[in-house]
Structure 1
Amino acid sequence: MANYQYMMSADDVARELNCSKSHAYKLVKSMNKELASQGYITMAGRIPRVYWAKKMYGYESYHRGQYIKLLLEGKLNDHLHEVDGECYERMELLMEQMKAEAGITEELKTSDQMKWVGLMNNVRSSAEEIVLDELIYV
């Protein structure tokens, strides 16, 4: 925990967003203006990591303890990447099962594309809802 940096530089922002440094400086400057208007002391070219996460990714206080722990240990991105992978794996599995139950086949795709697209959209929406309930909104 001793190596954790509470502030992000514009270079860190540029790396995280894969954008130019000048664009990153504009983002940091804009966020610093918001913080200053709320009465916080700011540093040119730097932004608090917690504020960055809140503004860019919408992280709030529902699981604040776990979020802060992961953030301070520098493990937040790894955790989010792991959850994202789990979600995609679960989506693929659910979609395959639902396709089999609904009788969605490649044959249907070639014979009636509109019906196939409609059924696939329903399957995807149902699978997304299940994954969100099981893995995200817990």
Structure 2
Amino acid sequence: MQKNIYNEQTGISYTLQGDYYLPDLTLPAQKEERHIGIWGQRYLRYIREHKKALYTSLLTSGKLQSYLADVEEQAQRLFDRLMKQRAELEGITETLKAGNQMEWIRRMNALRSAVTETVNAEVIFV
């Protein structure tokens, strides 16, 4: 038996693996390499588990990396904007940081948790 065969009708080559010929398929190359941070990783985990059709479609089309990078940027912009707005609204300032560091840390941690939940609800888990 031949190790490799080529089907001219489909344009796919096959390689012998044991008793079966398996197609030599590869994913399309990613066009760009962009940063995927915590938000992109969270979204990736979410679509892998809950939106399998979307994940498979993005993966096989070669657009997964770009899509996750877009989600990362959108979520990070929302996070930064909400942190700044809510910190000003709640009076968490550099003056508080200089005067009472532990109170500033406590309030910033609470604010970060609240903003993270908002970003998760509006961008990640949709």
CA distance in 2: counterparts of 1:65 and 1:118, whole angstroms: 41
Of 104, 114, 120, 1:132 maps to 120
Greater Rg by CA: 2
CA distance in 1: counterparts of 2:62 and 2:90, whole angstroms: 44
* Partner residue in 2 for 1:116: 104
Q: TM-score, normalised by structure 1?
A: 0.58
What does 1:81-96 align with in structure 2 at a 5 Å threshold? 81-96=69-84
DSSP 3-state at the match of 2:50: coil
Structure 1, gaps ≥5 residues long: 7-56
* Partner residue in 2 for 1:5: 26
CA distance in 2: counterparts of 1:104 and 1:136, whole angstroms: 27
* Partner residue in 2 for 1:101: 89
Which of the two has greater strand per residue?
A: 2
Code of the aligned partner of 2:84? E
What does 1:18-37 align with in structure 2 at a 5 Å threshold? none
Percent identity between matched residues is 34
Structure 1 ranges of 4+ moved more than 4 A: none
- After TM superposition, give the deviation of residue 74 of structure 1 in Å: 0.5
Code of the aligned partner of 1:137? F
CA distance in 1: counterparts of 2:102 and 2:82, whole angstroms: 22
Cα shift readout 1:26-56 (whole Å, capped 9, x = no counterpart): xxxxxxxxxxxxxxxxxxxxxxxxxxxxxxx
Q: State the superposition RMSD in angstroms.
A: 1.9
Which of the two has greater helix per residue?
A: 1
Asked if 1:62 corresponds to 2:83, the answer is no
Q: TM-score, normalised by structure 2?
A: 0.63
Structure 2, gaps ≥5 residues long: 1-11, 13-24, 28-43
In structure 2, the CA distance between the partners of 1:123 and 1:61, relative to structure 1 (3 Å rule), is closer
Cα shift readout 1:81-114 (whole Å, capped 9, x = no counterpart): 1101111110000001110111001111100000
- After TM superposition, give the deviation of residue 60 of structure 1 in Å: 2.8
DSSP 3-state at the match of 2:92: coil
DSSP 3-state at the match of 1:104: coil
